[in-house]
Structure 1
Amino acid sequence: MSTAVYELLLRHPDLITANTLIIGAEADLPAGWQTLLKTTGAQVLTWDWLTAQAYRPLGEPQVRFAIPQPQDITDKQVILLWPKAKQQALALLQLVATQVQECWIVGANDAGGKSIGKACAALSESSEKTDSARHCSLWNLQLRANNEFNWLKQAQSFNWQEQAYLTLPGVFSHGKLDTGTALLLEHVPAPSHGKLLDLGCGSGVIGLSMKAAEPALDITLADIDAFAIRSS
């Protein structure tokens, strides 16, 4: 995605009100977008630190860096920026459906924006594409009510050296150990002491498995993605 998703929303300023909650990860902000949010008081909830930083002038509580939870959505008009990871998108919609039955979704066409209605068919009573511009699509969904939601039930895990590692939807290599990391772990031994930084930690498998092998290590796990931080 790029500024295009916001530019499409700028064509519909009536959707941006004090009761609007925008959920998503997109750090490229077009001219006029932050001004609209500041004027209306619409809120942003993002799991992406770069997006949170891009919105820094608005400050908290208007902009929050966190994993979305049901209580964040109560009585809100929700606009979801369609993520590239379909599993993550569908999980977010299940969460939204615990609190409200209407959701607006905007997505880049090359990331599945054209087929959002089809992708969400099992979760929605109806879907309508209301606009298309800047290679993006805007959809309105009437969601089927969902009585409960727990992120841990959306997680998948994998094993490495008799340890289990959990990943939430959207985290790199969700539910499995990718070939590159497996190769690295096989051939790069853990240092016996000192400090280790696992930058872009994802599930945390590199840092945590090295800590398991060498307990004297002082490890730091870091990532810009709140879902990765929670997973690790």
Structure 2
Amino acid sequence: MIEVDRVSKRFGHLTAVDDVSFFVEKGEVYGLLGENGAGKTTTMRMMATILRPTSGDIRIRGYSVLSEPVEVRRRIGILFGGDVGLYSRLTARENIAYFGKLYGLADDALEKRVEQLGEMLHMSEFMDRRVGGFSRGMRQKVAIARTLVHDPDVILLDEPTTGLDVTAANMFRRMVAHLQEEGKTILFSSHNMGEIERLCNRIAIMHKGRLSYAGTIDALRDQVKMNDLDDIFMTMVEGGGR
């Protein structure tokens, strides 16, 4: 479903991503790990066609980000960390509906979808309030709904639980499990190892732009002879991924 094939990205003399390859199967929840600056977000931005690979290619459902970027965009939902980019003068409902319109959803279908997402993300109390006064967690929920409004097959989530309290983060994990049951393919990055362990069977670890590991969590434990995922991650990073 997602094939990353020997992808590199250079900015002048800086190599942000260096010859990275991994794949994500249909219906899989796949974790992308790495410290800040490891190349995770750059890799996900190339998947989303925001950045163009310097070399290599990425295919989403068989479509190339290089030669078929429009087809890729039709099939993905994207949420990047940091500023979630909502329109502060619009309500939560209007923000979600606006992005649904951009994807060409018909009015009746869009209205039903917005209501469905509001219920799924427990947003009913603030759906018709302007986003400008929202907390970080409330804004993040709206951003997640915006990501899912067109019912994409492939979902890219970069630090999706940033700003969410414990209850909301638990709700997010239940939502991911529900989306997986629907056959969605999800790739997400997180610094929360407990979250990764609960949601993912397979992971990729990046360090200084290169791939340190790609495979199952169980196989990684066997490889490094450690059990705690936090300790494993620190060992991989401090040891340069060896």
What TM-score results when the alignment is normalised by the length of structure 2? 0.29
Higher share of residues assigned helix: 2
What TM-score results when the alignment is normalised by the length of structure 1? 0.29
Higher Cα radius of gyration: 1
